[in-house]
Structure 1
Amino acid sequence: MFSLRKLLPPARTLVETVPYWLACTAPVAAGALVALAAWYPGHWQVVLLLLPVVWSRVRGRIAALAIWVGYYLAGARDIPVVSMRFFSGYGDLTRPEGLVLGVLFWIAQACVLATPWALLKPGPNACAARYAICAAVATVLVTVPPLGFIGWLSPVYVASTLFPCWKAPGVMLGLTAIACATSISRARRARHVAVLLLILAAVARSIASAPDLPFGWIALDTRFGRFDQSSYALLYARMQQIQAITKRAFTAGANVVVLPEEIVGLWRPAMDYWWHDDIQAFAAANRTLIIGTDLTVSSTPFRYTDSAVIVGANHGRVDSRQPVPVALWRPGAAISAIRGSLMQPYAVVTGKSVAFSICYEDLLWWPHWRLLLQTPDVLLSLSNGWFDSDLALAHIQRQGIAAIARLSGAPLLRAVNGEGPPIR
C-alpha cells in the first residue's frame, strides 16, 4: 500500500533543517536592514558597523556570506530596473532582455562582493586579533580594484561619519573601527580601542565645519532626459536649450557654471561651430563654463572618454577614471568608453583647485585617492541620471559622494541631468 511516510524525511531531519535555514535567512535580513538604514531611505552610515559585528557572531561561511549578500542585494536593488531602462533606451536590448541582464548582474555583484567576507571568515575558536585583521582585509578587498570596480556600498563609508575632514587618517581610523567591531565582545583590548575611537570621533565631529563654496559658482540641474543623438536637428535643439540656460545663469551673476555629465553628448566638429561665439564671449567676460561631454579617442574600434571640459576664461579637461562597467566601459567591444588616468591632477578654475567626480565615480572610493591627501577648494560632481532619477540609486549616489566630500573637507557642488521628455 502507498505510504506518504516513505516520501517524507524523518521528523528529526525536518526539525534539524529548519534552524539551519533560519540561521541563513536571519543574516540576509540583517544585512538588508543595515543597507536600508545606512543608505536610502535611511541616512545613518554609522550603522554599517553592525555588519562586522553580526558577521563575527554568525557561525559558518554560508551565514557569513548571507549577511553581505543581503546587504548588497538591498543596497543595489535598483540594478534590474536601471539595466532595463538604460539598454532599452539606447536600443541595445529589449526591455525584457535588459531586465534579465539586470537581475543576473544584481545577483552576481552581491555574491562577488560578499565572497571575501565568506572566505576570510575565521573559525569559531579564532582569536579576536584574527577576526579584526580579516575584517580589515575584506573591507580593503571590496573597496579597491579589481573588486573595487564595482566597489559601491563599501563599509569604509563609516569613516566619513565618524571622522569628517580627517582624510587618510580618517579612513585608517574607520578601518580600525570596522576591525574593532568584530572583536569588541571577544577581547578587553578591543573595548579599550573602541572607547578611544569614540573619543576621537567626538573630537573630529566637534571641530569639523561645513566648507563654503567659492563665490559665484553655480551647478545647473536639468531635466532633459535621454539624449537622442541620431540627427543634427536633435543635436541642435539640445544645444539651443543648454546655451539658453547657461546664458541665464551667467546673466544672473554666476562666474562659473557647471553642466551635468554627457549633457551635450559626443563632442563633434559641429559643436565647435555652435559653441564658438559663446565660448569667446565667456572668455571676454572672464566667465568659465564646465561641460560634461564625450570626446573621441579612436574611430576603429570606437573609443571615447567620459569627460568634463573647461572652456571660457579657463581651459582644461578631466576624464572619468572609471566609466560605468558594462554600460559604458566595455573592454573588447566595438564601442567603449576608456578609463582616464588616476594620476590626473586637480584642475584650476578661477584660481581654485577643483576635483571632479563623474557619475559612477560618486559610488567609489579609489578614484578619489587624491582627496584623502590634499583637500581641493571644491569638489564637482557631474552626473547624467536620466535612467534612475526616480529611484533609490540616485539618492544613494548623492549620499556616496557627499560622504567622500565630508571626509576630505571639500565643499561639494553637483550638476545632475534627470528624467524628462526627450527632445524631438
Structure 2
Amino acid sequence: MIRDISGRSQTAAFSASPGQSSPSIRNPSRGLVLIVLSIVVGTVGWSGTVLTLPVAMIFPLLWAKSPSRLVAAAVSGGYFLAASRGLPQGVATFYAADLWPGLLLWMMASTCFVTVHALLWTWHPGKGRAVRYLAAAVLMGLPPLGIAGWAQPTTAAGVLFPGWGWWGLVATAASIAMITSRYWPAAAIVLVGFWLWSAATWTEPSLPDKWKGVDLELGQSLGRDGSLDYHRGLIARVRETAGDGPRVIALPESALGFWTPTVARLWQEALRGSDITVIAGAAVIDAAGYDNVMVAISADEARILYRERMPIPVSMWQPWRVWTGQRGGARAHLFANPVVELDGTRIAPLICYEQLILWPALQSMLHSPDIIVATGNGWWTAGTSIVAIQRASTVAWAKLFNRPLVTAFNT
C-alpha cells in the first residue's frame, strides 16, 4: 500500500472522497436492500387503507439513502411500480385484452416518475438533497408531468395532520425535507408519533346534512344500457335512498350514460313533486369528442354541473387525436371549474382519475369549497386495489382540510 507524506493511505483518502468512490461499490447489498424496501413501501403505503398512507413517507428516505443514481432510479421504479400494481390488470380488463398491453402502459407510466427522481438525485447530502426531492415532488404533482403523478407521499398529510389544512401540507413538506437530511431519525420519530396519535383518534370524514352517495354494483353495464327500464331502476334506487331523509343524492361516474334532452326530461318528470336533487355522472358528446361530466337534476332544472378536468390518459384522454386532425376522445378541462355551486353549496368535484393525482384536489381547495364530492366507475378495476386507493386518497384530502365528503362508486 502506497502512503503519502501525511502518513495516510492513498486508498483511504480515495475512499473518503465522494467524488471518487461510491459505497455501492464497497457494499453492493445496500442497494438491493433499498430496492426491496421501496417495493414494500409502495405496496403497503398504497394498499387502499387510508391509515397506511404515511408508510409512503419512507420513500423519500430510501431515495436519499441511495448510494448511486442508478440505485435511486431503481428505488423510484420499485416504489412506483408497486404502488400502481393494479394498473396492468385493470387496463387488460378495460380493453378486454391480455395482460401485456397493461404491462406496457404500466412501464411507460413509470418512466416519467423514475426519470425525474433519478435526474434530481444527488450524491451530496445536506439542504441540496432536500430541495431536490421537493422539486421532484412539485414536478410530479403539477401538469404536465403531474398528469401521471400517482403515488404522491404528500397525500399522507391528511392522516398525519388531520384538520391542519394548508399548514398540514406545509408540515408534510417540511417533514419530507427532514426525512431526506441527516436529521431523518428525529423526523421519523416525530412522524411516527403523529401517525400513532391520528390512528388512535381517527374518525371518518363527516357526511353533509341531507346528502348521501349511492354505491352501485352494476359492473360494465353502468351507463351503457340506455333503456327506459334501466333509468327507471336508477330512479327507484334514488327514491328509496331519499326515503331515509337525504335531499341530495350522488350517483357514480357515467351512471346516466349519454346526456341528452330526452334523459333530462325523463329524470325531471320522475322527480316532479319532490325536493330531491340528483348529482350523477354522464357523457356529453359532440362531433369533436366528449366531456365526462357531473349533472345536477331536480324537478325544476337539469344542467351540467362539472366537466372533468383530467380524464384517464390514453383510455379516455387522447390528445394526439387533436394534434393529428382526428376526432374523438375525452376532453381535458385541466384548470377549469375547480369548484361548482349547487343551491348555495360550494362543491369540490373529483371524478375517478382526478382522485389519484395531486393537483385537482389542491386546486379545488384553493377555492375553499364547502364539501367534496368524489365519484368513480371502477368496474374495470375488479380484483385490484385501485378503487380502494381512490377512496383512501379522497378521505385523506377531506380529513386534511376538514371537509365533509360524499362518495359514489360503481364496481
Shared fold (TM-score, shorter chain, > 0.5): yes
Q: How many Å apart are 1:138 and its aligned residue?
A: 1.1
1:72 corresponds in structure 2 to 80
Query: 2:390: which partner in 1?
Result: 397
Measure the CA separation in 1 of the matches of 2:385 and 2:406.
20
Q: Distance in 1 between matches of 2:53 and 2:170?
A: 17
Q: Look up the match of 1:267.
A: 259
> Unaligned stretches of 5+ in structure 1?
1-15, 89-94, 419-424
Q: 1:360-382 CA distances to partner (integer Å, 9 max, x unpaired)?
A: 11111101224443543221111
Does 1:245 pair with 2:237?
yes
How far has the Cα of 1:136 moved from its partner? Answer: 0.9
Give yes or no for contact 1:167–1:373 (8 Å, CA) kept in 2: no
Letter in 1 for 2:132: C
Q: Secondary structure of the residue that 1:335 maps to in structure 2?
A: coil
Letter in structure 1 aligned against 2:297 = V
Q: Give SS of 1:391's match.
A: coil
Cα-to-partner distance string for 1:123-153 (whole Å, 9 max, x where unaligned)? 2xx2411111111111111111112101111
How far apart, in 2, do the equivalents of 1:206 and 1:30 lie? 26
Select which of 299, 319, 327 maps to 2:315.
327
Return the alpha-carbon distance in structure 1 between the equivalents of residues 297 and 165 of structure 2: 31
Matched, 1:376 2:364: no
Distance 1:347 1:408 in 2: 17
Q: Residue 214 of structure 1: CA displacement?
A: 2.2
Residue 69 of structure 1 contacts residue 114 of structure 1 at CA under 8 Å; is this kept in 2?
Answer: yes
Identity, % of aligned positions? 26
Question: How far apart, in 2, do the equivalents of 1:194 and 1:31 lie?
Answer: 16
Given the alignment, which residue of 150, 153, 169 partners 2:151?
A: 153
**1:137 maps to which residue?**
135
The 3 A distance-change label for structure 1 pair 68 and 143 is same
Q: Helix, strand or coil: the match of 2:290?
A: strand
Tell me the distance in 2 between the aligned counterparts of 1:137 and 1:128.
15
Find the counterpart in structure 2 of residue 349 from structure 1. 342
Contact kept? 2:306, 2:340, Cα under 8 Å? yes
State the Cα distance separating 1:202 from its structure 2 match: 9.5
- TM-superposed CA distance for 1:169, in Å, is 2.4
Counterpart selection for 2:40 from 33, 38, 45? 33
Q: Secondary structure at the match of 1:295?
A: strand
Q: For 1:162, give the aligned amino acid.
A: L
Alignment of 1:294 with 2:276, yes or no, is no
User: Residue 359 of structure 2 corresponds to which residue in structure 1?
Assistant: 366
1:215 matches 2:201: no
Task: Work out the CA distance in 2 between the residues paired with 1:200 and 1:17.
Answer: 37
How many residues were matched structurally? 380
SS of aligned partner of 1:264? coil
Note the alpha carbon deviations across 1:220-244, whole angstroms, 9 max, x for none: 11111113777xx753332122112
Q: 1:345: how far off?
A: 5.1
Amino acid at match of 1:75: A
Matched, 1:104 2:96: no
Runs of at least 5 residues in structure 2 that lack an aligned partner in the other structure: 1-23, 322-326
- Please, which moves more after superposition, 355-364 or 25-34? 25-34
What code does the residue aligned with 1:249 have? Answer: T
> Offset at 1:111?
2.7
TM-superposed CA distance for 1:402, in Å, is 1.2
What is the alpha-carbon root mean square deviation over aligned residues?
Answer: 3.0
Tell me the CA shift for residue 120 of structure 1. 1.1
Contact 2:159 2:396 in 1 (8 A): yes
Amino acid at match of 1:134: R
Secondary structure at the aligned position of 1:109 is classed as: helix
Judged with a 3 Å threshold, the aligned counterparts in structure 2 of structure 1 residues 206 and 74 are, in CA distance, closer, same or farther, namely closer
- SS of the residue corresponding to residue 295 of structure 2 reads strand
Q: Does 1:56 align with 2:64?
A: yes
Partner of 2:13: none
| Contact 1:316–1:347, Cα closer than 8 Å, also in 2 | no
Q: CA deviation at 1:161?
A: 2.1
Map 1:220-231; keep pairs closer than 5 Å.
220-227=214-221
- Would you say the 8 A contact 1:319–1:341 is kept in 2? no
Contact 2:208 2:406 in 1 (8 A): no
Q: Specify which of 159, 171, 177 is matched with residue 179 of structure 1.
A: 177
Counterpart CA distance in 1 for 2:317 and 2:193 is 43
Q: When the two structures are superposed, what TM-score results if normalisation uses the length of structure 2?
A: 0.83
Secondary structure at the aligned position of 1:183 is classed as coil
Q: Displacement of 1:25 after TM fit?
A: 3.3
Amino acid at match of 1:311: I
Partner residue of 1:81?
A: 89
8 Å CA contact 1:168–1:373 kept in 2: the answer is no
1:121 and 1:131 in contact (8 A); partners too: yes
One-letter code aligned to 1:175 = A
Contact 2:54 2:153 in 1 (8 A): no
Report the AA paired with residue 288 of structure 1.
T
Partner Cα separation in structure 1 for residue 195 and residue 90 of structure 2? 37
In 1: Cα distance, 2:385 partner to 2:198 partner: 30
Q: Give how far 1:162 is off.
A: 2.1
Rounded to whole Å, the distance in 2 between the matches of 1:324 and 1:345 is 17
Residue equivalent to 1:308: 294
Question: Does the aligned pair in 1 maintain the 2:223–2:255 contact within 8 Å?
Answer: no
